[in-house]
Structures are given as C-alpha cells and as structure tokens.
C-alpha cells in the first residue's frame, strides 16, 4: 500500500475514533446516585452522632476533625499516622454506610451505584483502591526502568559528540518526559490510596501536565523540530493552555468530568499525530509506535465505559492502569530505538 492510501486509511479511522469518543464524552455522568439516597444520608447522620453503623463502632468518632478527643482528656491525641491519612469520623461513617447500603441493595438484586462520584470499593489497610495503587506502582517502576535504560543507552552505549553531548536531538525532551511521567504515577499512587482534595488536585494536575507535555513532544518529534526557537514557538500555545487548565482545576473548579474531557482530547490528538506519522515514516520501529497507538486508543474506551468494580476491587479505571504497564514498556523501547536510529543517521552524516 502506498503512503498516501495508508495516510487516508489512518485518517478515516482516526476521525471515526474521535467521533465515537466525543459522543461518549458528552454523555459522561457527573452526579452520583448513592449519596442522593435518603437511606444512605440518614445512616451517615446517625453514625456521626453515635459513632457506629449497626454493631460496628469507629475509633475516629472519639476524636474531632483536628484530632482532639470529643470526650476525654485534652492531652489524648489521635495517632499522627492516622491523622495523616485523614480518615476521620465523617469519612469512616460514609464508608461503612456505603458498605451497609450496598449490601442491602445487593440482597434485593440491585447493581452497585456511585457514592460522591466514586464506585463502592473495599479498603485494604486503609487504602481506598488497592488494585489501581498496585498498577500505578508497577507503571512507575516501568517508567523508571525505561528512563534508566534510555539514559545508559544514550550516554554510555551510543557515540557522543566531541563536547560530550548526545547526537540524538531529543535526549533532553525525553528526560523531562520521564520526570513528568514518574511524577504522575507517584501522585496516582497517593490519590488512589486516599482520595482527599489535595491528593485529587495533585493527581489531576500532574496527569494534565503529562498529557499536555506528551502532545508537545509528539508535535516536535514527528515534525522533526530541532531548532530551539521553533521548539519554544511550537510548545507555547499547548503549554499556556495546560497551565491555564491546571490553574482552573486548582483555584476554580476541581471537576473530574471536565478534566477527563480535556485530557482525553489532548491524548487523542497526540495519538493521532503519532498514528499519522507511523503510517508515513520509514522509521525501523514504526510497528512499536502503531501497537502503542492502537492499545492506547482502545484503552481510552475504558475511561469512557466506566463499569462498577468487580468483587469490589477491579473497575474500568484499574484495568486502564493495567494496560498502561505493557504500553509504557513498549513506548520506552521505541524511544531507545529512535535514539539509536537518529544517532546512526547523524554519525553517518558526520563521517
């Protein structure tokens, strides 16, 4: 198949994927049925007074929000490690009322529903979404491995210029990418361990920063922009958009729905750029790029098709985190191949 036909085919597919994604995105629900349920609300109200749900009573309800005992000597403080996790009477009551309501609903044959924008998950040692945490840790490890092996390759295995810099022109950009990717994984671990406002802000902000930067990188690499001034010019509009979006999330409205829409749009744009490039380039590792694009586009559907957690642990978002692990491995493998490919071309030119 010639390049032009392939490009047309890719373009058609991309338009179809974007169209389908946008159709689903506009229908993303924002409200939760669980916390609107009067039985759940009265359970939380009663629990905050009595400190118990059924026979289950909570240690946190003996302390006020600032960690001081409700009735007891002033010097008795709640242990610091519990305060840090911010589990308090209110959140304990919400959690146990949710479990109680879900049990009742299940007995009547009902499906799980969301509470305060989240599916009902079982906690493990105070960790809210243990499966997402585990996959985020693995993804962090994958990025670290990818970055280290890239570092060793460009600085120790491939030839260097006389001034000890690499021939590969994108080394610095991939270093920044690795920092943003690992930062995003780290805050994902923290956020899925404990969902409070500050962990949510940091998770959303670092994801937006990573997705925005990945889009910049896609533009610069596929168009082969090597001049510093042109790079700054190309990056500036995306950079200012992402900076505004992060400020909006942190200081105006921390909206999950809006952030998801913005991140998916940028991610799809980035994937389309790589997809078009992969279909016309003669890069020796283009198949890796194509595989990454296909898996990432498919995994975006998991962000859109949000199903309840299986056995109370594995939901669509956790599976999405799982798909990122092999993709990250393949992605860094492509980056290393790209460094080898560009370096060999440039070395030949110098000779």
**Residues forming the site for Zn ion (CB under 5 A):** 188
- Least distance in angstroms from the C-beta of 136 to Zn ion: 7
Angle, nearest 10°, between helix axes 316-350 and 171-193? 170
- Least distance in angstroms from the C-beta of 233 to Zn ion: 33
- Least distance in angstroms from the C-beta of 13 to Zn ion: 27
Q: Give the residue with the Cβ less far from Zn ion, 88 or 315.
A: 315
Helix ranges (DSSP H) in 108-196: 130-152, 171-193
Q: Give the residue with the Cβ less far from Zn ion, 188 or 299.
A: 188
Residues 159 and 347 sit within 8 Å (Cβ to Cβ)? yes
Q: How is residue 331 written in tokens? A: 């992605």
- Least distance in angstroms from the C-beta of 191 to Zn ion: 7
Q: Give the residue with the Cβ less far from Zn ion, 289 or 316.
A: 316
- Least distance in angstroms from the C-beta of 197 to Zn ion: 16
Q: Give the residue with the Cβ less far from Zn ion, 71 or 197.
A: 197
Residues 188 and 136 sit within 8 Å (Cβ to Cβ)? yes
Residues in the chain: 351
- Least distance in angstroms from the C-beta of 305 to Zn ion: 15
Q: Which of 182, 139, 193 is nearest to 321 (CA)?
A: 139
Cα 136–chain centre separation? 9
Residue 248 class from Cβ within 10 Å (0-12 exposed, 13-18 middle, 19+ buried)?
A: middle
- Least distance in angstroms from the C-beta of 129 to Zn ion: 8
Question: How is residue 112 annotated by DSSP?
Answer: P
Pairing status of strand 52-53 against strand 56-57:
antiparallel
Q: Give the residue with the Cβ less far from Zn ion, 46 or 114.
A: 114
Q: Give the residue with the Cβ less far from Zn ion, 188 or 259.
A: 188
Angle, nearest 10°, between helix axes 197-222 and 256-280? 20
Helix ranges (DSSP H) in 194-285: 197-222, 228-251, 256-280
Cβ contacts of 39 within 8 Å, gap of 6 or more? 101, 104
Chain residue at closest Cβ approach to Zn ion: 188
- Least distance in angstroms from the C-beta of 132 to Zn ion: 5
Residues 327 and 274 sit within 8 Å (Cβ to Cβ)? no
Q: Give the residue with the Cβ less far from Zn ion, 171 or 199.
A: 199
Alpha carbon distance, N-terminus to C-terminus of the chain: 34
Query: What is the chain's Cα-based Rg?
Result: 24
Q: Give the residue with the Cβ less far from Zn ion, 193 or 285.
A: 193
């Amino acid at each position: 198949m010639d390049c032009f036909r392939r490009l047309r085919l890719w373009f058609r597919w991309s338009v179809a994927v974007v169209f389908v994604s946008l159709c689903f995105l506009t229908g993303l629900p924002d409200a939760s049925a669980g916390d609107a349920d009067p039985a759940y609300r009265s359970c939380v109200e009663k629990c905050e007074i009595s400190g118990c749900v059924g026979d289950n009573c909570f240690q946190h309800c003996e302390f006020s929000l600032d960690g001081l005992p409700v009735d007891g000597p002033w010097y008795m403080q709640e242990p610091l490690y519990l305060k840090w996790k911010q589990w308090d009477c209110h959140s304990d009551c919400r959690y146990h009322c949710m479990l109680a309501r879900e049990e009742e609903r299940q007995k009547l044959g009902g499906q799980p529903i969301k509470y305060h924008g989240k599916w009902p998950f079982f906690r493990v040692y105070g960790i809210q979404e243990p499966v997402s945490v585990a996959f985020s840790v693995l993804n962090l490890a994958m990025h670290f491995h990818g970055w280290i092996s890239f570092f060793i390759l460009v600085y120790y295995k491939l030839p260097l210029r006389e001034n000890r810099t690499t021939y590969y022109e994108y080394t610095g950009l991939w270093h920044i990418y690795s920092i943003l990717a690992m930062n995003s994984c780290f805050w994902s671990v923290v956020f899925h361990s404990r969902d409070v406002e500050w962990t949510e802000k940091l998770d959303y902000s670092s994801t937006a920063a990573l997705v925005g930067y990945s889009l910049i990188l896609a533009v610069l690499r596929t168009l082969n922009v090597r001049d510093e001034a042109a790079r700054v010019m190309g990056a500036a509009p995306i950079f200012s958009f992402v900076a505004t979006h992060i400020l909006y999330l942190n200081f105006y409205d921390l909206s999950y729905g809006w952030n998801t829409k913005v991140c998916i749009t940028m991610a799809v744009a980035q994937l389309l750029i790589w997809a078009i490039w992969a279909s016309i380039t003669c890069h020796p590792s283009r198949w890796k790029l194509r595989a990454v694009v296909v898996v990432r586009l498919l995994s975006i559907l998991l962000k859109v098709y949000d199903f309840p957690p299986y056995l109370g642990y594995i939901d669509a978002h956790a599976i999405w985190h799982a798909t990122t692990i092999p993709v990250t491995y393949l992605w860094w493998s492509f980056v290393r191949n790209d460094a080898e490919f560009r370096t060999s071309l440039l070395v030949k030119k110098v000779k």
